[in-house]
Each structure stands twice: as C-alpha cells, then as structure tokens.
Amino acid sequence: FSSVPHRLGFGSANPTGKIPLGLKRKGLRIVVTGGAGFVGSHLVDRLIARGDSVIVVDNFFTGRKENVMHHFGNPNFELIRHDVVEPLLLEVDQIYHLACPASPVHYKFNPTNVVGTLNMLGLAKRVGARFLLTSTSEVYGDPLQHPQKETYWGNVNPIGVRSCYDEGKRTAETLTMDYHRGAGVEVRIARIFNTYGPRMCIDDGRVVSNFVAQALRKEPLTVYGDGKQTRSFQYVSDLVEGLMRLMEGEHIGPFNLGNPGEFTMLELAEVVQETIDPDAKIEFRPNTEDDPHKRKPDISRAKELLGWEPKVALRKGLPLMVSDFRQRIFGDHKEGSN
C-alpha cells in the first residue's frame, strides 16, 4: 500500500465470499463510491430506504455533503472522505463504483477511472463483494452505429481532449472483466447515457444543467455548434432503478442504461424554454473538439434481461429538476417553485 488505508466496516466479510442472490436478504453492507454525487446520492436514498447499511466513500471533488446530509445520524449510514486512488480496506457485500470526475470540466488529468477502479476491484476480490462499474455511453465515442448496441466497440479518439474520460472508462471496463475472468470477482457493468435530475452540479458545464440554470438566471441558453447534435436524456430515478436491478440480477452486462428519447440540443433548448421561460434567448457558441454527433441507446438487452425500461419522459422529469435548481440558485424565499 502506498499509504495507510482506512480499516472500517461492520464486521467480517461474508465467509463464503458469495451472497445467495436468489434469497431475500436483509441488511446488506454496501459501499457507494462517489455516493455524495448526483447519481450516487439518489442511489444511497434507495438503498437506505430498502434497509441496507451504506458506506459512502467520496473525496468531494464534485460531490457535496448536502446531497447525503439527511442520512447523518442514521446508524445505517456512514460517510468517509477518501480518494479511491488510495487503497481502502472495508468489509462489504456489494460495491457500487461511481467515483469519477464525471463532467468535461472536471475529468481531465485524473487517474480515478483507472487507479480508483483497480483499488475497488482489489477490495471486491479480497472480501468477495459483488462489484458494479458505472461506465458510460462515452465508450462508444463518436458512434458510427445508431442507435448504439452493447456489442458495438465504439469509435474513440485515443489522444483527444475527451480521451481521458472515454479511454479511462474503457480501461475500467477492461479491468472489471479481467478481475472477473482472472480472480472470479462477481462484476456488473452499466453504460450510462446522459442523465439529469435534482442535485446535479449547477455549474459543471453539462447541457441540461447549463440550460436550466441559464433560463432561471435570465441568461441566454448557450447552444454549442449548430445545435443539431443529439443526446438521449434519462431521469435519475430511472437510472437508479436500472443500476439496482443490474446489481441484483444474474447478468454481467455491459448494459446500456438510458432513455431512448432522442433530442437535438436545439430541441432540448425548446423544452427548457417551454418549461421555464418562453422568452429565453438562444446564443450559439463554437462547439468543443471531438463532440459526438449523435447518441441514443438501444436498450433491448436491459429490457429483456433486467425487465427494465425508463418511465420518466423529458417533459415530466425536467420540472422536477427545475424546482431543485430554483431553490439552490435563489434560495427558498425567491420565486415560486415550478
């Protein structure tokens, strides 16, 4: 070990190293790396509500204590400030590995995806925990197949500005499969498509959070390029349901988890205008390098093997995010909630 690791937990690891998944279990010990972040904190809410004991491991790079503060004082909840690039000793049954600098402004030059994933796989191997990796649709790069199936190998520039994230997650998938084949670790891989909802970072540059914050602040919506590039936007509760089904199910994946509803950025801007402010202006900006032209998940595999599909359409989910953003931007006292 390169540093003195934490040794925390609820007791000894499952002696068999395996959990009888067919049985109804109570009180699993689950670590959620990145659990103070946007997706992670919603996952933690569901796990705690189900009666599990949850340890959140987060270095607060983009996550916030506020996202999990409502669990403070609950004996089934523990929060550890820790960078997963450093080794970590815990005794747990399941690992949801979400820690990752997830947006373009944060992810450059960070070894989390490779070293952090390696450490969490080493942990899973040692204690016999099941390990779920949250990979990304970015592994498909600028896809030449549309919509993208899990069998598609992708079209990624290895030396571009986004490569650190794309290739980092591709490497994380490789490590995950190697630990499965080589060390018998039980693994699951989710490829997550663009997800939005309450608790998203307000200023991390992603398109939904940018447009919503801009419309609320009466600033123009910044559309990059010609705005004809497409993305498919999934509401966070649908994603969390998919992640939990994947973890509990018998299939390794990878599974695409995303909403197949596809929108151009101009269409998204229109939905934001409809939802928040019909008078919001649109301002065109130069696009970033290597921006994927289109992206839409083929979710047949998840439908068939996990019995999962998204339920919340963009026009239903967006207002839920808007009221959260309104509160965080203006505080409770200003403007009504949406």
212 binds, among ligand UDP, ligand NAD, none (CB under 5 to 8 A by kind): none
Q: Which is nearer to ligand NAD, 57 or 321 (CB)?
A: 57
Token pair, residue 32, equals 């959620």
Residue 298 CB, shortest distance to ligand NAD, in Å, is 16
Task: Decide if 147 contacts 230 (C-beta within 8 A).
Answer: no
* Strand residues in 3-161 grouped as ranges (E): 7-9, 29-33, 53-58, 77-81, 89-91, 94-97, 130-136
Q: Which is nearer to ligand NAD, 38 or 140 (CB)?
A: 38
CA distance 169 to 118: 12
The 197-216 site mask, x for binding ligand UDP (CB under 6 A), equals --------xxx--x------
134 binds, among ligand NAD, ligand UDP, none (CB under 5 to 8 A by kind): ligand NAD
Q: Which residues make Cβ contacts (< 8 Å) with residue 114, sequence separation at least 6?
A: 168, 171, 172, 175
Task: Decide if 258 contacts 190 (C-beta within 8 A).
Answer: no
Residue 331 CB, shortest distance to ligand NAD, in Å, is 22
Q: Which is nearer to ligand NAD, 98 or 129 (CB)?
A: 98
Q: Which is nearer to ligand UDP, 223 or 244 (CB)?
A: 223
58 binds, among ligand UDP, ligand NAD, none (CB under 5 to 8 A by kind): ligand NAD
State which of residues 30, 92, 100, 129 lies at the interface with ligand NAD (CB under 6 A): 100
Which parts of 77-106 interact with ligand UDP (CB under 6 A)? 87-89, 104
Dihedral sign for Cα atoms in the order 283, 162, 137, 316: negative
The 155-184 site mask, x for binding ligand NAD (CB under 6 A), equals ------------------------------
40 binds, among ligand UDP, ligand NAD, none (CB under 5 to 8 A by kind): ligand NAD
288 vs 99, 192, 225, CA distance in Å? 25, 21, 8
State which of residues 71, 88, 96, 116 lies at the interface with ligand NAD (CB under 6 A): 116
CA atoms within 13 A on the CB side of 336: 2
Q: Residues touching ligand UDP: how many (CB under 6 A)?
A: 25
Q: Which residues participate in catalysis according to the annotation?
A: 165
Q: Residues touching ligand NAD: how many (CB under 6 A)?
A: 30
Task: Decide if 124 contacts 31 (C-beta within 8 A).
Answer: no
CA distance 306 to 311: 14
Q: Where are the alpha helices (DSSP H) in the chain?
A: 38-50, 104-107, 117-127, 163-183, 207-216, 236-248, 265-275, 300-306, 314-330
Question: What is the separation of C-alpha 11 from the centre of its chain, rounded to a whole number of angstroms?
Answer: 29
125 binds, among ligand NAD, ligand UDP, none (CB under 5 to 8 A by kind): ligand UDP
- Residue 160 in contact with ligand UDP, rule: CB under 6 A: no
CA distance 66 to 204: 17
Judged by the rule CB under 6 A, the positions of this chain that interact with ligand NAD are 33-34, 36-40, 57-63, 83-85, 98-102, 112, 116, 134, 136, 192, 194-195, 201
Judged by the rule CB under 6 A, the positions of this chain that interact with ligand UDP are 1, 87-89, 104, 118-119, 122-123, 125-126, 194, 205-207, 210, 222-224, 229, 231, 265, 287-288, 291
